[in-house]
Structure 1
Amino acid sequence: MMNEKYTCYLVSKSSLQSSLLKQSLEKSLDIIILDVSFTELLQTISSKQTNNNLNYIIIDLNHLQDDYLSKYLIIVDEKHLNTKEVLINSEPSVIVDDLMKLPNLTGLFYESDTMELMSKGMQKILDGELWLSRDITTSIITVHRKDKYFTSSVIAELTRREEEIMKLLTLGASNSQIAEQLFVSENTVKTHLHNVFKKIKVRSRLQAVMWAKGQQFQRAQ
């Protein structure tokens, strides 16, 4: 079914593989995915008005070109679009610096990943979680720390519960795991995370983790 709060795009060249992936994800996740070329994506998002609707951009790395990526980043920034990027068909030796070009990287799938694993990961992503390996996440955080991109000029005033959630977030806990640990509902966790994101001025889960790591964040005792 089409969700009014977000739109999913699969950016790839038309092929049997992309068609099968689209059909599989639509069936397993009960969503509609728009299969577009990068040119079509750029045309579509450039015509969008600034809004809070979420756009999931699933990008096939086999067909990603630097000039398209540059245009995409410019449009997202100028339009202040709410996007989350998911990369598929990645090689194991993916370069972290390349990943960091994307403003809101949310997921990364490898060429060897099965359709079942991709469906599981995409469901987590749609639920507001990250699908990145621990090694990739650690590498991204390390680079941000070195370049001091993470530093917040103002230390946000978080409640004790928000601090507890952020501590668990930096340990790699999912929303369901945080909820179980703190004996609250997942919806409560999502609400707290939404409030934290506003306070520390970030737009994604990964950015929140980097902020917390950069502040050498520790839960209040």
Structure 2
Amino acid sequence: MKKVLIVETNVNRYKGTDEATGLWLGESAEFIDELQKCNIDYDVISPKGGLVPLDPRSMKYIDSSIWNIYESSDFADKAIRNTMRPEDINPKDYVAIYFTGGHGVMWDFPDNEKIQAIARVIYNDGGYLTSVCHGIAGLLNIKDENGKYLISGKKITGFTTAEERIAGKRTVVPFLNQKVAEKHGAIWTKKRFYKDYALKDGNIIAGQNPFSVRTVAKILIKELI
């Protein structure tokens, strides 16, 4: 059975502040909803394993489909309370890895060598690297065996600088996705702020913001079935 690996953050607040952040709920729940419609299985890891905090702002954007996933015992156990650690899984078991967002990922995704190694194995085996919104932070620093960034020369997208300003986080985040992506050779693409937008370039699939989750999932699923 084809299985997708989902990555979530353990960071519960913006560094240097008392303001809460964490997983943007819909970026996990909506993606899983699309997988389940096609009977595609998934596992969830986080850098430290265990509990994943929810960004409280994401709870304002819940519809019935998100509630259905969020209130399911499977999601609560696998994706919130008891996420696995990177060392708990075998990357050979997965056909894709999906990096969720929420601002917290900007601190615990970019330099996690264990998760990068998992992603590299999946990619080298012909699998897919996928992300949405701030989840692009998980792809920015992954290199191949020759030391070249995997995103170099690829069209990608993620939460934009304009969106960061609108969210009021421009001065709080440790870096800007577009700036780092372009520094590492990627071709950054985008649409108007907070509009659904996702694209595929080779085996990399990326979505711009929280409204792009289902499009990312559907692009991936089309490749898998």
Identify whether the pair has TM-score above 0.5, normalized to the shorter chain: no
Rg larger in structure? 1
**Larger relative contact order (CA 8 Å, sep ≥ 6):** 2
TM-score calculated relative to the size of structure 2: 0.37
